[in-house]
Structure formats: structure tokens, C-alpha cells
């Protein structure tokens, strides 16, 4: 009974303008700028925020000399408000799609390896069947992608679920893991060596994934667990064309799945150095939000991803 009364209480007090204001406050950290973005006057924005805090009986934002900072309660409400507004946008899009035939937009996020294989193959197949579906692609780390998914900014993610607190909100369908090799430019001085050791690798310049990514953490742990300092001469990048061009004609090395760089291996632009990194990576998979109905266009993208994954990785998905 308490839950029913709470639901009615929140629904009776939450207004669409308050949802918009919450999202803009999260973006701008300023009542004035959030009010402008939400098409409100500053007094009206302050009043809406005060009404919401009174209705929920919690402080959502700390008032600072230069702006506002969300409390823990505010962070939760900002995320939920963003998801609610995304749902409204999706509902409008779905109605328009049903009126005009399958079209609309699907926003997909992917970590690096599936972005260059599984996802691109799936998009080609989807467009051959439904040319009017617009697809936007974001390539980033799993942590950032799942945050965007939970906030309603992405429909589908191909990555890993690393946050145990978020796992209950997300549905994960495993696809495959990523065995990594040590990749260098063709003609690298170490390419002909057969006695390579990790000490040799620590002295080379490295192209590393960004801090906070699972691969970066495991590379760091690999060196430290062997009593070595991680390489100090590094460049951080997730962009494959940047990585391949940096490897070409230099001493730089990078840990990458051979599948990801296969076209460059076939062209002779890069080579695999004869050293086994022994890196094991967690399975990545297709991630969606639980209890969230995808638009027809996003459903078509999801079905196509499953179909292509089953073709590319038959043993894992058998």
C-alpha cells in the first residue's frame, strides 16, 4: 500500500518541466543557465526545484557561491529524468515510425573491437533490409557506454557490464572474448626476435587505451606483477586509424585483438610480434536496459546484431 501511495505522490508532483530542468541542471550546474536551456525564467526554475525538493522531502542540489552541485539524491533523479525524457522521445519516434513504415533512429555504442567488425557488418545488413533506419554509433569504454545506456542516450551497447550496481538494470547477452596480440608496424626492430621478454616490452613506446578501461588496468597489472614499471613513453588512443598510423614506421607497440587489425595485417601495414602477452579479457556482449521496450528500428538493429554475432562466433553462440 505504501508503494502505491508513494507512486501516486511522485506522479502528482513531477512535471515535465521539472524533468527537463533536472537534466539541464545536471548539464550546466547553474540554475540560471539551466533555466535558459529549459526556456524558463530563473525565478520559475528556482520555484520548480523548490517544489520538487519539498514534495520528495530531500535536498537535490547543494547551493554553492558559483552554481549548484547535485547531492546523491539529485544524481539519481537526474539520471532517471534523462531516461524518462528519452522514453518520451522514443514514444514519439515509435508512433512516427508506425505511421511511415520502419524508419526512425537507433543509437548504438560499442567498444573498439566489435565497432570494427560485428557492428559494421550488422549495420550493413540492417540497411540492406531497412534503408530508412538511421543509425548513430558511439565508440568508447564500457563504463562510459553503459552510463549513457542507463541514461537513455543509447539504445544498445556492445561491451561489458563492469558496474555491479548497474547490473540489475541491464540485460547482457554474451558474444565473445578478445584474445590480444602485441601489434607493431611492419619492419619493427623486434619483429625478428625469438627471445623477447616482458622487460624488452617495458622499454618500448606504447599506444595505450585510456585510463579506466579494462585493458589498460590489465596491462598495468601485467607489468607490475612482474616487478616492472609500466611503460612511461605512451600515447593514449582508442581510434584505430590513429593507432595504425602511429605504429607505421615507428617503434611503438600496442595490445590489440588480431581480429580488429586483420585488414591491416592482410595489407602488410602491421605485424604481430612474437611475444605472448597472456592477457585474458572478459566476454563482451550485447547490452540493453531491462524493462525497456525498444523502438521498432532499435528492435531491428538488435535482431540483426544477434544474427551477425551467431554467424561470426558460432561456437560461442551455438
Residue 219: is its pLDDT beyond 70?
yes
pLDDT digits (tens, 9 = 90+) for 8-45: 545 555 678 888 889 999 889 898 898 898 888 989 98
- Digit-coded pLDDT (tens) for 93-139: 777 665 555 667 899 999 988 988 899 999 999 999 888 888 999 99
- HEC states along 199-257? HHHHCCCEEECCCCCHHHHHHHHHHHHCCCCCCCCEEECCCHHHHHHHHCCCCCEEEEE
Statement: the pTM of the whole predicted model exceeds 0.75:
no
- Work out the percent of the chain whose per-residue pLDDT is above 70: 92
With cut-offs at 50, 70 and 90, classify the pLDDT of residue 291: confident
Dig out the grid coordinates for 64 from the structure. Answer: 554553492
Q: Is 16 exposed, middle or buried (0-12, 13-18, 19+ CB in 10 A)?
A: exposed
- What is residue 304's three-state secondary structure? helix
pLDDT at position 164 is: 81
Per DSSP, which regions of the chain are E strands?
A: 61-64, 67-70, 105-110, 134-139, 156-159, 170-176, 180-185, 206-208, 234-236, 253-257, 270-272, 284-289
Q: Measuring CA to CA, which residue among 81, 78, 34, 42 is closest to residue 60?
A: 78
- The burial of 145, by beta-carbon neighbours within 10 Å (0-12 exposed, 13-18 middle, 19 or more buried), is given as buried
Under the banding of pLDDT at 50, 70 and 90, the label for residue 243 is very high
| pLDDT single digits (tens) 39-62 | 889 899 899 888 888 888 889 999
Of residues 300 and 88, more confidence is placed in 300
SS3 of residue 130 by DSSP: coil
Distance of CA 105 to the CA centre of its chain: 18
**What domains, with CATH codes, occur in the chain?**
2-79 (1.10.10.10), 102-177+283-312 (3.40.190.10), 180-272 (3.40.190.10)
- Residue 11, judged by CB atoms within 10 A of its CB (0-12, 13-18, 19+), counts as exposed
Amino acid at each position: 500500500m505504501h508503494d502505491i501511495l508513494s507512486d501516486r505522490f511522485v506522479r502528482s508532483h513531477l512535471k515535465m518541466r521539472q524533468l527537463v530542468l533536472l537534466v539541464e541542471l545536471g548539464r550546466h550546474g547553474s540554475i540560471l543557465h539551466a533555466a535558459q536551456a529549459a526556456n524558463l525564467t530563473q525565478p520559475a526554475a528556482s520555484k520548480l526545484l523548490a517544489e520538487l525538493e519539498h514534495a520528495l522531502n530531500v535536498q537535490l542540489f547543494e547551493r554553492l557561491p558559483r552554481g549548484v552541485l547535485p547531492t546523491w539524491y539529485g544524481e539519481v533523479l537526474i539520471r532517471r529524468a534523462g531516461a524518462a525524457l528519452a522514453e518520451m522521445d522514443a514514444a514519439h519516434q515509435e508512433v512516427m515510425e508506425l505511421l511511415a513504415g520502419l524508419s526512425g533512429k537507433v543509437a548504438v555504442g560499442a567498444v573498439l573491437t566489435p565497432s570494427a567488425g560485428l557492428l559494421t557488418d550488422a549495420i550493413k545488413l540492417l540497411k540492406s533490409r531497412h534503408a530508412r533506419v538511421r543509425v548513430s554509433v558511439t565508440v568508447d569504454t564500457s563504463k562510459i557506454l553503459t552510463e549513457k545506456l542507463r541514461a537513455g542516450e543509447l539504445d544498445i551497447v556492445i561491451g561489458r557490464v563492469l558496474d555491479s550496481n548497474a547490473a540489475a538494470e541491464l540485460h547482457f547477452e554474451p558474444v565473445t572474448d578478445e584474445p590480444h596480440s602485441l601489434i607493431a608496424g611492419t619492419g619493427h626492430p623486434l619483429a625478428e626476435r625469438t627471445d623477447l621478454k616482458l622487460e624488452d616490452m617495458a622499454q618500448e613506446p606504447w599506444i595505450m587505451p585510456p585510463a579506466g578501461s579494462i585493458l589498460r588496468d590489465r596491462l598495468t597489472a601485467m607489468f607490475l606483477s612482474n616487478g616492472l614499471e609500466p611503460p612511461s613513453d605512451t600515447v593514449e588512443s582508442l581510434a584505430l586509424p590513429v593507432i595504425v598510423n602511429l605504429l607505421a614506421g615507428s617503434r611503438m607497440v600496442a595490445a590489440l585483438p588480431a581480429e580488429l587489425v586483420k585488414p591491416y595485417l592482410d595489407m602488410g601495414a602491421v605485424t604481430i610480434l612474437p611475444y605472448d602477452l597472456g592477457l585474458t579479457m572478459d566476454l563482451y556482449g550485447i547490452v540493453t536496459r531491462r524493462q525497456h521496450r525498444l523502438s521498432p528500428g532499435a528492435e531491428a538493429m538488435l535482431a540483426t546484431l544477434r544474427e551477425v554475432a551467431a554467424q561470426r562466433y558460432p561456437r560461442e553462440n551455438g
